[in-house]
Structure 1
Amino acid sequence: MKIKQIGPFNGDIIDTILKNRNIKDIDTFLNPNSSEDLNPFDLHNIELGANVLLAHLLIRDHIGILVDADADGFSSASIIYQYIKKIEPDSHISYFLHDRKSHGLTDEISQKIASSTIDLIIIPDAASNDVDEIQRLYYMGIDIIVLDHHEVDKMPEHGILINNQLDVNKNTNKNLVGAGMAYKFCQALDKILDTHYADDLLDLVAIGQIGDISDISENEVRNLVFRGLETINNPLVKIAIMDSFGSLKGLAPKDLSFSIIPMINAVVRVGTKDEKDLLFRALNKIDDGRVWNVEKRKKNKKTGKFDKILVEQDIYDIAFDMMKKVKSRQNSMVKKSLEKLKNNTSIYNEGGISIALLNSPHEASITGLVANKVANKYQKPALVLYYKDKKYVGSGRGDEKILSSLKDWCNETGLIEFAQGHANAFGISIPEDNFEEFKKRTHEVKKNEFVYEVDLIVRENVNRSIIEDVTNNKHLFGGKVQEPLLAFIGIKINKNYIRQKGSMLAFYENGVEFVMYGAPDGLYESLKNNFDRQITMDFIGIPSVNIYGNKRTLQLVLVGCERSGNYDLIEEVPDEVTVETIIF
């Protein structure tokens, strides 16, 4: 492994990390505020859009909301739904859900809207480029308000587009996602109506901003997210967080990424229409106060068998149980797809990119999740595709140790229809006629010498206090403010304290668990199958803490590890000599 310490250690690990992230104003970063907040009325069309909504509410028109198919889509649509219900409790609102993981005004959704009785459709987090569909609905007499954050290819001639990426905005904040734009719309309404309801929905804003991987180092976004984490009001969100962490205190952005957000995404990917409907109703307190008798199975301690009992549950308990089941179903689907791939010749692995072919378009919703597993198994970038309409369509997952951007590499081949999304997590379509040539091109991809850029290199001892300091400040990191990466070099490990469970490999030293998820095949055996009682290891990982019951264990979640002696320090920056760093 090649390791480089980013900058000098000044004795304060948190200050060192923030300087390594090029945070200029550390005080504002640590204490975000509203001083630089975007005035909502600087966004083009926002006042017009607010007044159009109020006009429709005044004459008791039928309002529609399109719910886009991801965590940001559900949270932004919920912000609009709940805000309207706050200012007009008796308003007539219908919501439209995608049957599958789709975005914007698809033909199917457009037909549903056209067949309804709505007078106004509000579309958060989508549809900026759905020019033809917007025009069609407009000519049918339906008003349209789009609240979006995606790049605009062509301005629609009809409807009201409110988008923070537009050049015509007087001022903007391009880091706001769908939930952030929905919040700005509600802020504008608050100012027009002299009310203060928008801030009641900040927990939903946080879900959208974190779920859509926005830049939470930016002051306004950071402030919105922190305030949302401090005021979790939504009953369903509360249940999900309490189930994962046992408390609502001290939440970090990452905590939503490991609780409510993946559960919403699972329902979006593989949930039925009824399950998606239940999720939206629970998020929006529809049927709040109702109680159902639900049949549960409980183990009888005397007989050892499971008895059926009736339990009273509200909509939030029912929805949370459903979300857990759907998440489990999604995991089973991924496992089955991987088993199919393992048992046939559907993985092309001769080049520098693994290409796996799934049997059916019915597996389309999980291609990204399967790609994660394939990339991890073969330790290189992966594409997971299925065949449909003379194209190979699916998802890509990259590995920056090999390519800085798999998406860019695919686009640069000139052989694909599109690769859209993030640098190393995106959707892709390859025409059938180009597929064989594309596979040949993967032979050009070679593994680069990857350098781990770490915040601190610690030699020959496990410094618990540094790991503790980082985990106590976990709320500072997330989005483009990358989590800290630490290197522990020359750590002696008793072989009795090496454990493997499935693909998880763990080492224990000085009360710290060094844990690797998805460990490469054969690594455990190579470390254990020798006559040494003790081995010396080099670890690179992210500080974390595992809480199980009353037991709290410091961890380093590993991104790399190997036996000592093979690492190479690149342009190492010496520690800054201070009173705190001198060793006597």
Structure 2
Amino acid sequence: MSQSQYLETLISWDYDGVTSLVTLFKYLLNFTTEVYYVCNERSEGHAIGNLLDEIPKQTKVFIAVDSSSNDVESMKLLSSKGIDCLIIDHHTVTVENPYAVLVNPQQPNCKYPNKNACGGLLVYKVCQVIDDYMNTHYSNDLNDLPGFSLMADMMSMMELENRYYAKQSLKSLRHAGLRALFEAMGFDLKNLSATDFLYGVSPAVTAATRADNIKLAIDFLMCDKDCAEIKGLAKELIKSNERRKEIQAEALIALKPFVNLEDKTVIVYDPTLGKGFNGLVGQELSKYFNRPAIVLGEGDDSNTYAGSFRGLEDFSMLDLLDECESVIYTGGHPNAGGLQILKVNFDVLRQELNKKLHDFEPDDSLYYELEFDIGEINEKLILYLSEFYRITGNGFKQGKFRIKGLFISDKKLMGKLNNTVKIDCGDIQLMKFKTDSEFYDTVPVFTEVEAIGSLNMNYWKQYKPKFKITKTMQLFIEDYKELVKNKNTYIKRREK
């Protein structure tokens, strides 16, 4: 194995893609030092074409991870040069590729039962197979990584294999860099949850790739053992993530006035965001207006727009866009991916989607699992519920609860961007994130309310003048209802 040169390529810049590259790179180093990688920045697009000239002539095996299932031409060219090609991917397969060995559970007749695997998990599985052939156990050192890839790529958490690896990542994390980043962001390493990762570490790592600094993300994830660089890299990621939050919040404010509320899908154009932020802003718009969203920017040439889409759980937005004649290209996941259209077809796409979604009405009800009176809420109950919902994600959502008997005594607008509202209700605090001063102004004081949200225990460590831990019960709210004003009922129990 040491006589060959292995080259990895990465053209997927999300957490799953970067972890796929790092996992395989680290694993192959156990057999040879002749391992290299090349990768695209987000702004350079999804094509391998611009990377082909970077491939050394002595390369024997070319491995594409988390991408390239349908890239026949690039594999044909590499194959003609005597390079063996391997693709490890989980995205939809639309063409037959005879020039590469394809590891992808989405290809026809594949018997691998987990169709909800991600790139990082499949790379890890390939490493396990190599271990079996080589009678080695090197993949064991990397088994804390696939679960995070699965969570970050929003793969189904109803899949038992996915839940197993998600638990492995949260309960048995050894990766030195990730441990340092979790700690730097204030999370308890002994009680990590999927929420801690999805709203903390994952966006911090991918914030670097959104800023066209994929090297930072890769260098960080390469730090699986303690080294001098870890703290500095973690600090850079956090700084990049704070900037990402600012851009995201500013874009949402700027684009909201341009949304046509008569449309079934939010479709906006903003050439300033770039490929790194189209999807994030699309997600924010989709959540705010409770409908699918498309954010477009400039395409590969002067005649096209390219961007990202975000959908709802009710149907596959990917399939819907694939049926639209105005769409040149679309790809990705059912409810998160990219697309390209001709500029002259902007209104055509809007009309197509309105027609196809004519009878669709998104459900704007808030659902909950259980209801409690405030007197029933205590630390023991919250910790019990937190353990039950430790592993959440696609198909297994964070539990929402209806809390009654709340009385608002005070409120505060917080955060660097003034987009967090803290509402004091006696023994419990209601927290509303990613909001604005408009929401803050509507919150009544000295008023009885009930609210829906997820429960959390916040532990604040104080070291001076003497050490103590302050415990605060919190409800991360979706919304609230004033009882005195008899507002329209918005609460509905989630159907099982």
TM bracket, shorter-chain basis: 0.7 to 0.9
- Computed over aligned residues only, the root mean square deviation of the Cα atoms, in angstroms, reads 3.3
- Does residue 339 of structure 2 align to residue 428 of structure 1? yes
- Rounded Cα–Cα distance in structure 1 between residues aligned with 2:494 and 2:65: 47
Instruction: Report what 2:6 is aligned to.
Output: 63
Instruction: Report what 2:27 is aligned to.
Output: 83
Q: How does 1:142-541 map to 2 (within 5 A)?
A: 142-272=83-213, 276-285=214-223, 314-335=228-249, 337=251, 341=255, 347-352=258-263, 353-360=265-272, 363-375=274-286, 381-388=292-299, 389=301, 390-398=303-311, 414-422=325-333, 424-439=335-350, 448=362, 450-458=364-372, 463-464=377-378, 466-489=381-404, 491-494=405-408, 496-501=409-414, 502-519=418-435, 522-528=438-444, 534-541=446-453
1:377/1:520 contact within 8 Å kept:
no
Q: What amino acid is the match of 2:396? A: V
Which structure has the higher relative contact order (CA within 8 Å, separation 6+)?
A: 1
Q: Deviations over 1:380-404 (max 9, x none)?
A: 554322233323322234567xx76
How many Å apart are 1:325 and its aligned residue?
A: 2.7
- Rounded Cα–Cα distance in structure 1 between residues aligned with 2:493 and 2:179: 45
Instruction: Report what 1:556 is aligned to.
Output: 475
How many Å apart are 1:348 and its aligned residue?
A: 4.0
- Rounded Cα–Cα distance in structure 2 between residues aligned with 1:478 and 1:160: 31
How many Å apart are 1:265 and its aligned residue?
A: 1.1
2:367/2:493 contact within 8 Å kept:
no
- Rounded Cα–Cα distance in structure 2 between residues aligned with 1:384 and 1:484: 30
- Rounded Cα–Cα distance in structure 2 between residues aligned with 1:569 and 1:246: 33
Instruction: Report what 2:464 is aligned to.
Output: none
How many Å apart are 1:455 and its aligned residue?
A: 0.9
- Rounded Cα–Cα distance in structure 1 between residues aligned with 2:199 and 2:494: 34
Which secondary structure state, in structure 2, belongs to the residue aligned with residue 240 of structure 1? helix
Q: What amino acid is the match of 2:392? A: F
- Rounded Cα–Cα distance in structure 1 between residues aligned with 2:149 and 2:236: 21
2:456/2:473 contact within 8 Å kept:
yes
2:177/2:226 contact within 8 Å kept:
no
- Rounded Cα–Cα distance in structure 2 between residues aligned with 1:440 and 1:264: 37
- Rounded Cα–Cα distance in structure 2 between residues aligned with 1:570 and 1:317: 45
How many Å apart are 1:108 and its aligned residue?
A: 0.9
How many Å apart are 1:230 and its aligned residue?
A: 2.7
2:295/2:309 contact within 8 Å kept:
yes
2:21/2:65 contact within 8 Å kept:
yes
How many Å apart are 1:138 and its aligned residue?
A: 0.5
1:62/1:117 contact within 8 Å kept:
yes
TM-score (norm 1): 0.72
TM-score (norm 2): 0.84
- Rounded Cα–Cα distance in structure 1 between residues aligned with 2:80 and 2:494: 65
- Rounded Cα–Cα distance in structure 2 between residues aligned with 1:413 and 1:458: 46
2:42/2:209 contact within 8 Å kept:
yes
- Rounded Cα–Cα distance in structure 1 between residues aligned with 2:70 and 2:317: 25
- Rounded Cα–Cα distance in structure 2 between residues aligned with 1:160 and 1:442: 37
- Rounded Cα–Cα distance in structure 2 between residues aligned with 1:396 and 1:84: 35
Distance change >3 Å, CA 163–CA 411, structure 1 → 2: closer
Which among 113, 120, 129 is matched to residue 70 of structure 2?
Answer: 129
- Rounded Cα–Cα distance in structure 1 between residues aligned with 2:365 and 2:472: 29
Distance change >3 Å, CA 406–CA 518, structure 1 → 2: farther
Q: What amino acid is the match of 2:157? A: I
Instruction: Report what 1:23 is aligned to.
Output: none
Instruction: Report what 2:459 is aligned to.
Output: 547
- Rounded Cα–Cα distance in structure 1 between residues aligned with 2:158 and 2:291: 30
Give the gaps of 5 or more residues in structure 1. 1-56, 291-313, 575-584
Q: What amino acid is the match of 1:73? A: G
Q: Across the two proteins, how many residue pairs are aligned to each other?
A: 475
Instruction: Report what 2:466 is aligned to.
Output: none
- Rounded Cα–Cα distance in structure 1 between residues aligned with 2:423 and 2:158: 33
Instruction: Report what 1:300 is aligned to.
Output: none
How many Å apart are 1:241 and its aligned residue?
A: 1.5
Indicate the structure (1 or 2) with the bigger Cα radius of gyration: 1
Q: Deviations over 1:353-396 (max 9, x none)?
A: 44332134x62211122234445565655432223332332223
1:103/1:126 contact within 8 Å kept:
no
Distance change >3 Å, CA 149–CA 384, structure 1 → 2: closer
Q: What amino acid is the match of 2:472? A: T
1:351/1:439 contact within 8 Å kept:
no
2:406/2:450 contact within 8 Å kept:
no
Q: What amino acid is the match of 1:543? A: L
How many Å apart are 1:95 and its aligned residue?
A: 0.9
2:413/2:437 contact within 8 Å kept:
no
2:367/2:400 contact within 8 Å kept:
yes
Which secondary structure state, in structure 2, belongs to the residue aligned with residue 481 of structure 1? coil
How many Å apart are 1:534 and its aligned residue?
A: 3.0
- Rounded Cα–Cα distance in structure 2 between residues aligned with 1:409 and 1:193: 45
